[in-house]
Amino acid sequence: MDQLASSRPARRTQAERRDESGRSLVAAAIAVVARDGVSAATFEAIGREAGYSRGLATQRFGSKQQLIEAVIERLHEQQEAALVEHDIDARPGLEAVLAFVDLYLRALADEHEARAYFMLLSAAVADATELRAAFAAEHGRVERRLEALVRRGQAEGDIRREVDPAAAALMIGGLLFGLSMQILVDPATDLDPIRETSLSTLRLAFGAGDRP
């Protein structure tokens, strides 16, 4: 009897079921936006994509804004996990900057999550919604990370000291943002040569090399 009981899977708690449904709904929202566009991401469509009811999606998030904020947070967590997986912060400053750009552009070319993020961003800016603040906060995090990597590269001597770290971070962010928009306009864009050119240009622009 004890052996039979121990072989049964443990029943999930209400909190665990709630977390699972939340993750499924966020993943469904990303899939719907990437496939069908922002306007198609209704609670009904998201619930159906996740295998739940519209009522559960509404109950779980309350409003579409809260759902999209959860999507932004999920994508941020995924990006952070990818940076950890590729040891970005353990690399020398210049190589860390280049690896960050390389990883970002590879994800943009291959993953629908990144495209969904920028589709949501475009809609938030175009409609002047309150979600702009959430996107601004996320972009601020990215810029602060890049600025810290540039400063570290300068301290290590592989990034030129005359480079303004804040301006460099904003410039890199602008490059990535522009290429993200290009993918939305023309999904057939081949990012591989653009990625290679971007990395070469950044290495030449920032690298200390043999310069005095």
- Domain positions in the chain are 13-62, 63-212
Q: Does domain 63-212 sit in CATH 1.10.150.80?
A: no
pLDDT score of 35? 81
pLDDT reading at 17 higher than 60: yes
List pLDDT tens digits, range 108-151: 776 677 777 777 777 776 665 677 777 778 788 889 999 999 99
pLDDT reading at 73 higher than 90: no
pLDDT score of 211? 47
Q: Looking at 56-60, 93-97, 191-195, which range is the least confident one?
A: 56-60
List pLDDT tens digits, range 157-173: 999 999 999 999 999 99
Q: In angstroms, what is the C-alpha Rg of the chain?
A: 21
